[in-house]
Amino acid sequence: MSKTIELAQHLEKLHINNMYKSDFYWTWDKTDEELDAIFTVADALRDLRERNKSTRIFDSGLGISIFRDNSTRTRFSFASACNLLGLTVQDLDEKKSQIAHGETVRETANMVSFMADVIGIRDDMFIGEGHKYQKTFMDAVKEGYRDGILEQQPTLVNLQCDVDHPTQCMADMLHIIHQFGGVENLKGKKIAMTWAYSPSYGKPLSVPQGVIGLMTRFGMDVVLAHPEGYDVMPEVEEIARKNAAATGGSYKKVATMEAAFQDADIVYPKSWAPFAAMEERTRLYQAGDQAGIDALEQKLLAQNAQHKDWTCSEEMMKKTRNGSALYLHCLPADITGLSCPEGEVDNSVFDRYLVPLYKQASFKPYIIAAMIMMSKVKDPVSALMALDAADKRKFF
Amino acid sequence: MSKTIELAQHLEKLHINNMYKSDFYWTWDKTDEELDAIFTVADALRDLRERNKSTRIFDSGLGISIFRDNSTRTRFSFASACNLLGLTVQDLDEKKSQIAHGETVRETANMVSFMADVIGIRDDMFIGEGHKYQKTFMDAVKEGYRDGILEQQPTLVNLQCDVDHPTQCMADMLHIIHQFGGVENLKGKKIAMTWAYSPSYGKPLSVPQGVIGLMTRFGMDVVLAHPEGYDVMPEVEEIARKNAAATGGSYKKVATMEAAFQDADIVYPKSWAPFAAMEERTRLYQAGDQAGIDALEQKLLAQNAQHKDWTCSEEMMKKTRNGSALYLHCLPADITGLSCPEGEVDNSVFDRYLVPLYKQASFKPYIIAAMIMMSKVKDPVSALMALDAADKRKFF
Amino acid sequence: MSKTIELAQHLEKLHINNMYKSDFYWTWDKTDEELDAIFTVADALRDLRERNKSTRIFDSGLGISIFRDNSTRTRFSFASACNLLGLTVQDLDEKKSQIAHGETVRETANMVSFMADVIGIRDDMFIGEGHKYQKTFMDAVKEGYRDGILEQQPTLVNLQCDVDHPTQCMADMLHIIHQFGGVENLKGKKIAMTWAYSPSYGKPLSVPQGVIGLMTRFGMDVVLAHPEGYDVMPEVEEIARKNAAATGGSYKKVATMEAAFQDADIVYPKSWAPFAAMEERTRLYQAGDQAGIDALEQKLLAQNAQHKDWTCSEEMMKKTRNGSALYLHCLPADITGLSCPEGEVDNSVFDRYLVPLYKQASFKPYIIAAMIMMSKVKDPVSALMALDAADKRKFF
């Protein structure tokens, strides 16, 4: 029996009826079994591909991608996922990242969705706006479908918003599951999500928020650490606390990187901007106050520079369990002595983890494909079994 | 019997032998039965898609798109149409819209067409140039095919030129046909194509020209209205007159928006630039006279501003038949109080027609796909029947 | 028996086992039989397409294109080749052509290759860098495959580097073979690869180098001519000399265009930059010395202008065999009196060769497709026979 069949049999036991035609905004919208289904389908698609089996569930169809911020990795992951399933990507290029409003979004959403099966949106620039944009867009296409404008109801894959980065964090998590030999081995493991110094400005909060919002669901001890003033959104922290309580794990905050790294099994040191400053930036952008934006940038760069000791050095890594915690990063990292004089991580640490880091990233196309498949296919168990049984090869 | 089969049976009765391998420049190049065939195939493709039937008639192949002006809607419509039929879009990005000449166009046309099945071109910026560019391009690929350079003869879909905008107007027309329950119900209906004020500059004339050139063919009373100086091309008016005479409808011009809207069943209020001014602009561009171009822009904006009363207000709408004429627009509209202080249409009017407006737009991908299918498939009746009979699903 | 079957039977006799999973950097990395295989498969794919046979060997999959220099022709050729075989192109847009370094390339290579079957790279701007970039990239994905990051090993098609332009020169060569009625008719034919004046600056050396590196393998008398100071890379000249010695042909340099054209059967007059100047430019770019770059450009333009007599005029053409040598160019050419006042070729000469020139270009998509097929398909003989036997049409 192939791995795909085993995975399909596992999928059969899960309660996943609500996933059909559903959007993927945030991991905490989904039940544990629904997340399990995504991981399961991701692994199955990977197994099929390794065996040169066609994974096309679409004969034709479009995946619309909207990147309101630059992207290479996620763009290629989305393109790969669509291709894997038989969809063609059509990119909506909005030129510059502007804060778009209701009616315009509603019109655009319908105009680009006549043949859209899936919509992938990245909009992470403005706190309080990214998720709102995605919601407005998807409400519009839902109405368009209801009103007979669209023949099919497109579904959303959130490719990063101001709140969560579910395709990244789900890929991170699937990597962890594989590295630790199964989700059952994660109970009691300590994972440190920590701020790290970067010479650049305004990195999104969606990764740390996504990590504490997701990884508190597997019985792990999740620790968040950042310098004063670099808080993440309190609503997401609340979710992390509830998750931990429900799974017998824990969520806590510590004041130093050292404390977070102490005996950690997994570390995720990464820069981000302070939530309050990002709120201020959104207001400045909405007011068109360029002088204010520039002043804020200078202030934040200076503030960052006070915390250059928050870096994933060799010394810091030694504090982790056996000095060999699994090092995670969503890439690209600011690497001390390689891409910048002082950054998030020592070159020697980064270099030692190169293969696992690339593997971590390699799960993203499969996670996206699994999200698409679960929302578009009514009976994914049969679909996987059919793909496994067919002798349709991916290539000759 | 499915709707597709019914439509295929209707198609069988039409005289459409000349459509195979033909280009689509202007609606008035085509016979009534040829236009009927496009509408019929568009409806059939939509029916097949609604029933999750594969509509791929291409196993591989390229649709080349050339947008010599910005475009989101038409770009997505072309991409959707190609995808629907199994073609991949490859975009030729000519960076800036320049007036290209003979030899360069001839070379480019061949270089991008080695695998091209279809060419979609938008070139609407310069009066006297857009159509010429398309013609030069298509003559070149025709020669390329004849000379053994190309294995297949690509065919044209005009995605808007300086004269006509056939994919838009055919979509508009199919929308009207559906709204009025069939082409047989259009006799004697009054449609008002009127100029409307917009704060922007230099909008193409291809929509009003396309509308009077097409909609005079269905026995309707077509009325064109615009302020003094906003004439459209006289050649197209001549076509409108001949069409009306042939179908028992009428074509006339009136001097005010009020007169046009009076008892109208359908209204299409939309801004455009004066034909003579656009001719002047073409000359200025050819001479590279930037100061002249800027001066012309200022002059035209001031001229526009004298006609702010040409707007589709609630008062204006009340003059139409039962105060509830079908409101059309090719989108995006300049909406008073929403996208601009004073524009083509009141927000309340626009908002009331949102669903029909989006439906109007939704026909464009199917119209384009039907144009492609009719020019590429020798026996479209059999093709539709085969698509209907096959149990090849669009997705699992 | 179809032409494809004949070609497949020829392919069966060749020693081509090493081509599976191999990269295509330079023609001189490949054996004569391997090049023969590329030509054979290119002809077979063209025959299949002419007969409306599907040539899709991929059910899904990505061809990643990386153009570190502007490109229309090669971009469309790569897109066409991928489409012909069933691959979708995903373009990596690196914005500006910068000299990228080790780690960044390694990371990017893996990040874009999760579903990549083929990588096409053009990087011709910097002498000493283009090939290095391709090598670094491909070594990275090879490691990625070995380390389990990638499910499949992508292979390279060099779409032009600083050393060779194999897809161009192989297309040129296949054109010559067809024009002369077979490779067996080339023995003793004289081909003149000569420099020609152009008013533009810094054209790559990869075409003249590719030509002398490839066309010395068929028993022809290859002559290179250029003004003093316009030398090509000595390593490639060394390869040309060895090739000629091995095939009974010859390779020599002459000092004037006249001498090169004298009794030539084929002429390839084309501008390029001096090798030493391009080395200097690379150093200036690496040092970020914009003033130096500008000064070098002025110096080179002035140097070019001293050699305006190096032009493919009607007089010059008269010196060739019967005054009717086959004229080649990779396009676009600088045409005297058409695209510039004084350029590489007289308008009347160019115009006379328009059809053969376009035919020359038309081989490139097939050459690229053949390179992809030979590196991805383990048993290309069976693959061709299966494509020929199947009744799967390219379109309905």
Interchain CB distance below 8 Å, B50 and A151:
yes
Q: Are C232 and C209 in contact (CB under 8 A)?
A: yes
Work out whether the CA dihedral B108, B109, B113, B117 comes out positive or negative: positive
Collect all residues with Cβ–Cβ distance below 8 Å to C342 and sequence separation of at least 6. C197, C199, C308, C311, C336
Helices (H), B234-353: 234-247, 257-261, 275-287, 290-305, 314-318, 347-352
Note the pLDDT of residue C100. 54
Element (H, E) at C123: strand C116-123
Which residues in chain C are closer than 8 Å to A83, comparing Cβ atoms?
A: 60-62, 88, 90, 115
Nearest-CA distance from A60 to chain B in Å?
6
B-facing residues of A in 99-158 (CB < 8 A) are 103-104, 107-108, 110-112, 114-115, 117, 144, 147-152
The residue of chain A with its CA nearest to that of C86 is A395
Q: Are C321 and C265 in contact (CB under 8 A)?
A: yes
Average pLDDT for A322-333: 96
B91: phi then psi, degrees, rounded to nearest 5: -90, 130
pLDDT at B396 over 70: no
Nearest-CA distance from C67 to chain B in Å?
14
Nearest-CA distance from C344 to chain B in Å?
16
Structure tokens at A338: 């390689």
pTM above 0.80, yes or no: yes
DSSP C27: G
Of C58, C90, C147, the CB nearest to A76: C90
Residue B126 Cα distances to B122, B133, B163, B278, B299, angstroms: 11, 10, 10, 7, 18
B129 or A48, which is more confident:
A48
The structure tokens 């789900």 sit at: A170
In this complex, which chains have at least 3 CB pairs below 8 Å with chain C? A, B
Helices (H), chain A: 3-12, 32-50, 73-85, 102-111, 130-146, 166-179, 206-215, 234-247, 257-261, 275-287, 290-305, 314-318, 347-352, 354-376, 380-389
A5 touches chain B (CB under 8 A): no
What's the CA gap between C269 and C207, in Å, rounded? 11
Which residues in chain C are closer than 8 Å to B103, comparing Cβ atoms?
A: 335, 338-339
Average pLDDT for A246-266: 97
Nearest-CA distance from B88 to chain A in Å?
8
CB pairs under 8 A between A and C: 86
Interchain CB distance below 8 Å, B393 and A110:
no
Interchain CB distance below 8 Å, B112 and C395:
no
Q: Which of B69, B70, B90 is nearest to B79 (CA)?
A: B90
Nearest-CA distance from A86 to chain C in Å?
7
Which residues face B354 on adjacent strands?
Answer: none
Which residues in chain B are closer than 8 Å to A21, comparing Cβ atoms?
A: none
Helix (H), strand (E), coil (C) string for A192-258: EEEECCCCCCCCCCHHHHHHHHHHCCCCCEEEEECCCCCCCCHHHHHHHHHHHHHHCCEEEEECCHH
pLDDT band at residue A396 under the 50/70/90 scheme: low
Beta strands C345-346; C335-336: pairing state:
parallel
Note the pLDDT of residue C96. 42
Nearest-CA distance from A299 to chain C in Å?
29
A391 touches chain B (CB under 8 A): no
DSSP A307: T
Of B59, B62, B111, the CB nearest to C56: B59
A-facing residues of B in 57-86 (CB < 8 A) are 72-73, 76-77, 79-80, 83-84, 86
Interchain CB distance below 8 Å, B90 and C79:
yes
Average pLDDT for A299-316: 96
Collect all residues with Cβ–Cβ distance below 8 Å to C190 and sequence separation of at least 6. C220, C221, C223, C263, C264, C265, C266, C321
The residue of chain C with its CA nearest to that of A365 is C114
DSSP B307: T
Nearest-CA distance from B318 to chain C in Å?
51
C50 touches chain B (CB under 8 A): yes
In this complex, which chains have at least 3 CB pairs below 8 Å with chain B? A, C
The residue of chain C with its CA nearest to that of B105 is C332
Tell me the residue type at B31.
T
Note the pLDDT of residue B85. 96
Which residues in chain C are closer than 8 Å to A332, comparing Cβ atoms?
A: 107
Note the pLDDT of residue C78. 97
Interchain CB distance below 8 Å, B396 and A58:
yes
Q: Are C23 and C153 in contact (CB under 8 A)?
A: no
**Residues A203-221: tens digit of each pLDDT:** 999 999 999 999 999 999 9
Residue B148 Cα distances to A18, B143, C363, angstroms: 56, 9, 12
Residue of C76, C167, C330, C346 to mutate for B, most B C-beta atoms under 10 A: C76
Which residues face A267 on adjacent strands?
Answer: A192, A327
Would you say the ipTM is above 0.85? yes
Give the number of C-alpha atoms closer than 13 A to the C-alpha of residue C150, restricted to the C-beta side.
Answer: 25
- Each residue's pLDDT expressed in tens, for chain C with a length of 396 residues: 999 999 999 999 999 999 999 999 999 999 999 999 999 999 999 999 999 999 999 999 999 999 887 788 899 999 999 999 999 999 997 654 344 555 688 999 999 999 999 999 999 888 888 999 999 999 999 999 999 999 999 999 999 999 999 999 999 999 999 999 999 999 999 999 999 999 988 899 999 999 999 999 999 999 999 999 999 999 999 999 999 999 999 999 999 999 999 999 999 999 999 888 889 998 998 899 999 999 999 999 999 999 999 999 999 999 999 999 999 999 999 999 998 999 999 999 999 999 999 999 999 999 999 999 999 999 999 999 999 998 777 766
pLDDT band at residue B98 under the 50/70/90 scheme: very low
Interchain CB distance below 8 Å, B115 and C88:
no
pLDDT band at residue A233 under the 50/70/90 scheme: very high
Measured in residues, chain A has a length of 396
Interchain CB distance below 8 Å, A112 and B72:
yes
b/e code C304-343 from CB counts within 10 Å (16+ = b): beebeebbbbeebbebbbeeebbbbbbbebbbbebbeeeb
pLDDT at B5 over 50: yes
Nearest-CA distance from C332 to chain B in Å?
8
Least confident residue range of A375-384, B68-77, B201-210: B68-77
For residue C161, the SS3 value is: strand
For residue A138, the SS3 value is: helix
What's the CA gap between B246 and B32, in Å, rounded? 11
pLDDT band at residue A177 under the 50/70/90 scheme: very high
pLDDT band at residue A97 under the 50/70/90 scheme: very low
Note the pLDDT of residue B95. 59
Average pLDDT for A19-45: 98
B51 touches chain A (CB under 8 A): no
What's the CA gap between A45 and A54, in Å, rounded? 9
The residue of chain B with its CA nearest to that of A110 is B358
For residue B132, the SS3 value is: helix
C51 touches chain B (CB under 8 A): no
Note the pLDDT of residue B355. 96
Element (H, E) at B386: helix B380-389
Q: Are A112 and B72 in contact (CB under 8 A)?
A: yes
Residue of C57, C87, C111, C395 to mutate for A, most A C-beta atoms under 10 A: C111
pLDDT at A102 over 70: no
pLDDT at A168 over 90: yes
Interchain CB distance below 8 Å, A83 and C104:
no
Interchain CB distance below 8 Å, A104 and B361:
no
In this complex, which chains have at least 3 CB pairs below 8 Å with chain A? B, C
Interchain CB distance below 8 Å, C148 and A359:
yes
Interchain CB distance below 8 Å, A56 and C58:
no
C356 touches chain B (CB under 8 A): no
Collect all residues with Cβ–Cβ distance below 8 Å to C197 and sequence separation of at least 6. C271, C304, C305, C307, C308, C309, C310, C311, C342, C343, C344
Interchain CB distance below 8 Å, A359 and C147:
yes
Average pLDDT for B228-241: 96
pLDDT band at residue B28 under the 50/70/90 scheme: very high
Q: Are A342 and A199 in contact (CB under 8 A)?
A: yes
